[in-house]
Chains A and B, each alone.
Chain A
Amino acid sequence: MGIRMEVPLAEIETELSRLWDEEKSKNRFKACLFNLVVYTEDMQQEPFLQELVNGTLEKFPCRVLFIQADPNRNNDYLRAYVSNEAITTAFGCDQITLEYSASRAAAIPYIITSHLVPDLPVYLIWGADPSQDRGILNYLQQFTNRLIFNPGSTDTLQKFCAGMLARIAAVDCEVVDLHWGFISGWREVLARTFDTEERTRQLKFSKTIKITYNTAKAPFFPAPEIQATYLSSWLAGQLGWTFLSASNGCFTFSSGTHQVKVELVPKEADGLIPGAIMEIEVTTAEDHAFILTRKQKLPKVVVHISTTEICELPFTLPLKNTQIGLGYIKGLFYQPSCKHYKNMLQIASQIKESP
């Protein structure tokens, strides 16, 4: 890890150049594939975001601009730090950190844009509630190629999803979110399990679906039910269900001919990220059961399929992207956002617990 130094704002680039000049004698050089701007207003999110950044840098060297905002209006400060993060013995990356209080917010967008490496993509991870933006996000998004949001930052998931739909319609860049990436493995598992017309029909007209998820919380994951809600909404969006009601973690959809109940089952589990989905149990209209269980903490899912007459041999499918690894990061930065995501948002934006 490079040494972090506080510098005057006007000296940021000079100081970075100086740091790299010192590295020349060690035959280490700077690499940069894109600009990664990470914004947060909550110090407690920093460990997760730093883990995300470190995971990114290992495979995709980039210039990181870490923006730590303090919404407390009583403070007044604006500080800049630079470091040249060592990735391998051969190369490293620039990291610029800006810490500022709300009173200095007006200057921030212009400081950020003047330190982006030109001609390379700009990816912005917005760790705060986008609906509370004081102008920084709205300014930066015009320069951004990919906006990445955290659904846990908003009061309610419904509000977040509605906001995301509006933003997707308004901007030209890709819009993705951190939690959508975490369920990509489960989406693939479901797609490979229900991989025939018959099985998809069964899923579409199933009676109940139970999704068990890790109920542990963490600062970046204040609402552990998000992934499970996303998965339910994704199923609904792809299978053409319409949302009817939600109550006590149970969603009711209509498949057109009858109702599908999706129950979110919280369960504590160690060693998994908060909200990680551990099991999906589908009971079809014909009382066939599809039980997809994550094999403890391994990235594998065992699929048990049984009908009223027979029990098929279980099989195992790989479960990708359950934590911050190459696949997850690649998906976050390079996967084009697809219609599935938008369909999911359409459904999730309607899900509101009945009082």
Chain B
Amino acid sequence: MTTTLFKNPLEETTRGSKVADPCILVIFGATGDLTGRKLLPALYNLARDGQLPAHFACVGFARRDKSHDVFRGEMLDDVNKFSRVKPAEPELWGTFREQLFYHRSEFDDDDGYIALNKFLQQLDTQFGTRGNRVFYLSTQPSYFPLIIEKLKQHGLIYDVNKVQDKWTRIIIEKPFGRDLQSALDLQKDITQHLDESQIYRIDHYLGKETVQNLLVFRFSNPIFESVWNNRYIDNVQITVAEEIGIGTRGRFWEEAGMLRDIVQNHMMQLLSLVCMEPPSNMRGDAIRNEKVKVMESIRPFPSNQIGNFIVRGQYGPGFIDGAPVASYRQEDNVDRDSVIETYAAMELFIDNWRWGGVPFYLRAGKRLPKRATEIAITFKDAPGFLFQSEGKKPAHNVLVIRIQPDEGISLKMNCKVPGLNGPIQPVKMDFRYGSYFGSAPPEAYERLICDCMSGDNTLFARADEVLASWRLFTPVLDYWEGTRPADFPNYPSGTWGPAEADQLLARDGRQWRLI
């Protein structure tokens, strides 16, 4: 006999905000960077906005020895530093901190999991969280199989086919594997113990307001959807630029590189949202189905010509905001002869009816002149020869979706300069989130954690999306592994990347946008 979940008759479904179920959030790796910088501030802001369930608790799970109070104190410091609204309001924090706890254990310690289970049951009684669990694995991916196995072994993960009055969800952070085989292995390991519906692969880009606005922009404005195809679009450029270097993440970066850290996941998410067909409805799987179709339509890089379509780079010494900065190889925990890329640029094609023939130029890099993530859609020239001057046509129309910073959308178009025989000059129509909507929107992690607690997996990556992306990029990684770059570092910090990246477009008569 199946038991249906209780539906509260007093709950207004038209209230316009998601209702998260009562639950306990357990953060594995709670003493790590992500917890302090993102997760706890996100929870605090959810509490501040009244978006946390009334019945909620959070447990930090890590190896270091500390008390609940010490953990709470550290989290307060982090909220005061990293929250989008700071400092923490004393009264609010006073209540919120009472929902924070710390559990010390090694990830492979069975006693630790037994104690955790017991503790969570106590918290269920204390906070009314009904046995619902979110386990956030903010750890190295190599620990995922172990932790999940232990959780299952100790009854902390419920079988969806057998238990229906409470739920378990696991949030795992990227990278989902290092390549196709490891991603397949990871998927096999975790699905031994979990149903796909319980797995929430977080890609925080999907939680950004501007990324979500992509679907609204595309599918609620027919004026744009009607030209969103190869008849009107000349090329698409997607840029993820950071001015910062790798910081203290040398060890991680030496294992990852730009392709694994940014391109394979964040950029592919942006690409699939730009390119997807309208879904049949706005539910999670309908959207994710369309995204997967995009991933599967991307033309694989020709194995004997990978270097013609994808360029890698590594930053050398240079200047950022006028201050000298060191090269990648001089960063801490980086091999002095490292061949890890901090920059990648590529030309992709999507072989489907909508996008056939349109080049997609993607670039991502560290130590570029400024921080900027944007999608720029350049439209084709107007047909014919009207308004040409000295053989030059007016500027292309360009629609730019700025993901960060200065979130918004702009459209570049041509206008006549007033006066007799006035020339034509490009102007911009500009929408800025900050100007229109005032207060800062929720941070990505706030939305994603809230969605997970609500059981909405729309903004989380599905296994087939992830694997399709690895299928595309694993040959590139293999090629790079087998071909040592002779010219690293090949771009100074503070510049827009290696010259080869410019040539990628120059050969097509195009150039990278100045951002």
In the bound complex, do residue A110 and residue B369 qualify as a contact, i.e. CB atoms below 8 Å apart? yes
B425 cross-chain contacts in A, Cβ below 8 A: 33-34, 121, 334
- B425-439, CB < 8 A from A: 425-428, 434
B390 within 8 A of A: yes
Task: Please give me the residue from chain B that is nearest to A11 by CB atom.
Answer: B321
Which of B319, B422, B513 touches A107 (beta carbons < 8 Å)? B319
In the bound complex, do residue B319 and residue A106 qualify as a contact, i.e. CB atoms below 8 Å apart? yes
Nearest-CB distance from B308 to chain A (Å)? 23
Nearest-CB distance from A344 to chain B (Å)? 17
- B373-430, CB < 8 A from A: 389-390, 398, 400, 406, 410, 412, 417, 419, 422-423, 425-428
A17 cross-chain contacts in B, Cβ below 8 A: 434
Q: How far is the CA of A34 from the CA of B514 in the complex (A)?
A: 13
Nearest-CB distance from A119 to chain B (Å)? 4
In the bound complex, do residue B514 and residue A116 qualify as a contact, i.e. CB atoms below 8 Å apart? yes
Contacts A119-B398, A119-B410 given; does A113 touch B417 at CB 8 Å? no
Q: How far is the CA of A80 from the CA of B322 in the complex (A)?
A: 10
B318 cross-chain contacts in A, Cβ below 8 A: 107, 110
Nearest-CB distance from A236 to chain B (Å)? 23
Contacts A114-B369, A114-B370 given; does A9 touch B322 at CB 8 Å? yes
A271 within 8 A of B: no
Q: How far is the CA of A13 from the CA of B243 in the complex (A)?
A: 14
Task: Please give me the residue from chain B that is nearest to A117 by CB atom.
Answer: B428
In the bound complex, do residue B514 and residue A113 qualify as a contact, i.e. CB atoms below 8 Å apart? yes
In the bound complex, do residue A119 and residue B319 qualify as a contact, i.e. CB atoms below 8 Å apart? no
Q: How far is the CA of A338 from the CA of B390 in the complex (A)?
A: 8
B410 cross-chain contacts in A, Cβ below 8 A: 119
A9 cross-chain contacts in B, Cβ below 8 A: 321-323
In the bound complex, do residue A335 and residue B514 qualify as a contact, i.e. CB atoms below 8 Å apart? no
B227 cross-chain contacts in A, Cβ below 8 A: none
- B289-324, CB < 8 A from A: 318-324
Nearest-CB distance from A318 to chain B (Å)? 14
B494 within 8 A of A: yes
In the bound complex, do residue B494 and residue A107 qualify as a contact, i.e. CB atoms below 8 Å apart? yes
B422 cross-chain contacts in A, Cβ below 8 A: 334
In the bound complex, do residue B322 and residue A78 qualify as a contact, i.e. CB atoms below 8 Å apart? yes
- A155-206, CB < 8 A from B: none
Nearest-CB distance from B375 to chain A (Å)? 13
Contacts A33-B427, A334-B422, A334-B423 given; does A111 touch B321 at CB 8 Å? yes
Task: Please give me the residue from chain A that is nearest to B243 by CB atom.
Answer: A114
Q: How far is the CA of A72 from the CA of B514 in the complex (A)?
A: 31
In the bound complex, do residue A336 and residue B322 qualify as a contact, i.e. CB atoms below 8 Å apart? no
A239 within 8 A of B: no
Nearest-CB distance from A282 to chain B (Å)? 29
Q: A289-320: contact bitstring with B at CB < 8 Å (1 yes, 0 no)? A: 00000000000000000000000000000000
B187 within 8 A of A: no
B323 cross-chain contacts in A, Cβ below 8 A: 9, 107
B51 within 8 A of A: no
Number of interface residues of B (CB under 8 A): 32
Q: How far is the CA of A78 from the CA of B425 in the complex (A)?
A: 34
Q: How far is the CA of A33 from the CA of B412 in the complex (A)?
A: 11
Nearest-CB distance from B389 to chain A (Å)? 5
In the bound complex, do residue B514 and residue A336 qualify as a contact, i.e. CB atoms below 8 Å apart? no
In the bound complex, do residue B419 and residue A120 qualify as a contact, i.e. CB atoms below 8 Å apart? no
B454 within 8 A of A: no
- B470-515, CB < 8 A from A: 494-496, 513-515
- B27-67, CB < 8 A from A: none
A91 within 8 A of B: no
Q: How far is the CA of A334 from the CA of B369 in the complex (A)?
A: 29
A10 cross-chain contacts in B, Cβ below 8 A: 321
Task: Please give me the residue from chain A that is nearest to B391 by CB atom.
Answer: A336
Q: A1-42: contact bitstring with B at CB < 8 Å (1 yes, 0 no)? A: 000000011100100010000000000000001100000000
A117 cross-chain contacts in B, Cβ below 8 A: 428
Q: How far is the CA of A106 from the CA of B319 in the complex (A)?
A: 8
A118 within 8 A of B: yes
Which of B389, B412, B515 touches A336 (beta carbons < 8 Å)? B389
Q: B242-253: contact bitstring with A at CB < 8 Å (1 yes, 0 no)? A: 010000000000
Counting contact residues on chain A (CB < 8 A from B), the size range is 20 to 34
Contacts A78-B322, A110-B369, A119-B400 given; does A143 touch B417 at CB 8 Å? no
Which of A78, A100, A108, A119 touches B412 (beta carbons < 8 Å)? A119
Q: How far is the CA of A284 from the CA of B426 in the complex (A)?
A: 47
Q: How far is the CA of A33 from the CA of B418 in the complex (A)?
A: 13
Which of A8, A80, A118, A334 touches B417 (beta carbons < 8 Å)? A334
A330 within 8 A of B: yes
Task: Please give me the residue from chain B that is nearest to A17 by CB atom.
Answer: B434
A210 within 8 A of B: no
Nearest-CB distance from B245 to chain A (Å)? 14
Nearest-CB distance from A21 to chain B (Å)? 9
In the bound complex, do residue B514 and residue A118 qualify as a contact, i.e. CB atoms below 8 Å apart? yes
Nearest-CB distance from B259 to chain A (Å)? 24
Q: A257-298: contact bitstring with B at CB < 8 Å (1 yes, 0 no)? A: 000000000000000000000000000000000000000000
Nearest-CB distance from B323 to chain A (Å)? 8
Task: Please give me the residue from chain B that is nearest to A142 by CB atom.
Answer: B511
A106 cross-chain contacts in B, Cβ below 8 A: 319
Q: How far is the CA of A269 from the CA of B152 in the complex (A)?
A: 95
Q: How far is the CA of A281 from the CA of B495 in the complex (A)?
A: 54
B513 cross-chain contacts in A, Cβ below 8 A: 118-119
Q: How far is the CA of A174 from the CA of B424 in the complex (A)?
A: 14
Task: Please give me the residue from chain A that is nearest to B511 by CB atom.
Answer: A142
Q: How far is the CA of A116 from the CA of B372 in the complex (A)?
A: 13
Nearest-CB distance from B487 to chain A (Å)? 20
In the bound complex, do residue B426 and residue A119 qualify as a contact, i.e. CB atoms below 8 Å apart? yes
In the bound complex, do residue A336 and residue B426 qualify as a contact, i.e. CB atoms below 8 Å apart? no
In the bound complex, do residue B322 and residue A104 qualify as a contact, i.e. CB atoms below 8 Å apart? yes
Which of A13, A78, A119, A335 touches B423 (beta carbons < 8 Å)? A335
B495 cross-chain contacts in A, Cβ below 8 A: 110
Q: A202-237: contact bitstring with B at CB < 8 Å (1 yes, 0 no)? A: 000000000000000000000000000000000000
Q: How far is the CA of A170 from the CA of B319 in the complex (A)?
A: 28
Q: How far is the CA of A119 from the CA of B372 in the complex (A)?
A: 14
In the bound complex, do residue B428 and residue A120 qualify as a contact, i.e. CB atoms below 8 Å apart? yes
Nearest-CB distance from B367 to chain A (Å)? 10
Q: How far is the CA of A100 from the CA of B323 in the complex (A)?
A: 13
Q: How far is the CA of A335 from the CA of B370 in the complex (A)?
A: 33
Nearest-CB distance from A134 to chain B (Å)? 14
Residue with the highest number of chain A CB atoms closer than 10 Å, among B322, B323, B434? B322
B496 cross-chain contacts in A, Cβ below 8 A: 113
Q: How far is the CA of A121 from the CA of B414 in the complex (A)?
A: 11
Task: Please give me the residue from chain A that is nearest to B370 by CB atom.
Answer: A114
The 3 closest A-B pairs by CB, nearest first: A107-B319, A114-B369, A114-B370
Question: Given A107-B323, A110-B494, A330-B419, 18 more contacts at CB 8 Å?
Answer: A9-B321, A78-B322, A104-B322, A107-B322, A110-B318, A111-B319, A114-B243, A119-B400, A119-B412, A121-B426, A143-B514, A330-B417, A334-B422, A334-B425, A336-B389, A336-B390, A336-B423, A338-B390
Q: List 27 A-B contacts (CB under 8 A).
A: A8-B321, A9-B322, A17-B434, A78-B322, A104-B322, A107-B318, A107-B319, A107-B322, A107-B324, A111-B321, A113-B369, A113-B514, A114-B243, A114-B369, A117-B428, A118-B400, A118-B515, A119-B412, A120-B426, A120-B427, A120-B428, A122-B514, A330-B417, A330-B419, A334-B417, A334-B425, A335-B423
Which residues of B line the A interface, CB within 8 A? 243, 318-324, 369-370, 389-390, 398, 400, 406, 410, 412, 417, 419, 422-423, 425-428, 434, 494-496, 513-515
